[in-house]
Amino acid sequence: MPESEMLTSGEFSRRARLSPKALRLYDQQGLLVPDEVDAVSRYRRYRVGRLADARLIVWLRRLDMPLADVARVLAAPAAEREALVAAYWEAAEAKFAAQRWLAARVREEVSGHEGAHRMTQEILTRDVPAQLVLTEQRHVTPEELPGWIGQAMMRLLAAADPVGGPAADPFVVYHGEINHDSDGPAEVCVPVDPARAAALTAPTREEPAHREAYLRITKAQVEFPQILSAYDAVSRWLTAAGHTAALPPREVYFTDWDAAGPDDDVCDIAFPI
């Protein structure tokens, strides 16, 4: 049929594989508005050409895409739609990976703490020399934290470029708890060459030499609240080994975050002792 041919709502619903209820909902949400509405009977009619968007809505909803995201895909030019769907699915896969890990930890917890014991067995120690670090500190909520870390890290890495870039792996220090009841503060640190400190413009401080206990985790495990299990595991190890924390805990990021997949190692949860 020509794309301009009109279909009743019932026929359009059948061809699009949408229930009449869903078709009414998408009309109300502005996703799939009828091309004609009879002024007297209120019967709705749709052009045949609208079937492509209707079927796209069906597919996107089968991916559990929220209606607000579906609306963004439909409103985007055809050349940009693929990137929007890819971005949504990448975020969904990261969420599923995090939930899979969390579900495994919960199962181990309720079965007798076997998972916590295994995480404790994976903790290692290392010596960290004194470092001069570029620093940026802020009070943040759990929701604000990931975005702020990324932005602060980019600012500090840019500030480190004139002196040869970072001299060691960047890290984030937590001077206070960050959860739904506490906002830190957190501090992003980028180590730099102290011999070139005179050329620096960003704030710096001295990080003292120390020994630290650490647990390596994946990108999926970094998600809140999953990451709290890693902190708990290192804390339990410290108690069992008779150690106390000498400095605030931190997260050491040793790889390209954007290039890493959900199951790739990206971060060490470290406690100076």
pLDDT at 76: 94
CB atoms within 10 A of CB 180: 10
pLDDT at 91: 86
Statement: residue 149 has pLDDT above 90: yes
CA distance 185 to 9: 56
pLDDT at 2: 66
Structure confidence at residue 96 as a pLDDT band (50, 70, 90): confident
pLDDT at 161: 95
**Rg, C-alpha atoms of the chain:** 26
Q: What is the residue-averaged pLDDT of the chain?
A: 89
pLDDT digits (tens, 9 = 90+) for 19-70: 888 898 899 888 899 989 888 888 889 999 889 999 999 899 989 999 999 9
How wide is the angle at C-alpha 136 spanned by C-alphas 134 and 140, nearest 5°? Answer: 155
121-126: long-range contacts, CB 8 A cutoff, minimum separation 24: 122/215, 122/216, 122/233, 123/213, 123/214, 123/215, 123/233, 123/234, 123/237, 124/213, 124/214, 124/215, 124/216, 125/211, 125/212, 125/213, 125/214, 125/273, 126/211, 126/212, 126/214
Most confident of 115-119, 164-168, 199-203: 164-168
Statement: residue 220 has pLDDT above 90: no
Number of H helices, E strands in the chain: 8, 13
Q: Please give the single-letter amino acid code of residue 19.
A: S
pLDDT digits (tens, 9 = 90+) for 1-12: 566 788 998 899
Does the pTM of the predicted model rise above 0.85?
Answer: no
Is 211 within 8 Å of 245 (Cβ atoms)?
no
CA distance 254 to 265: 9
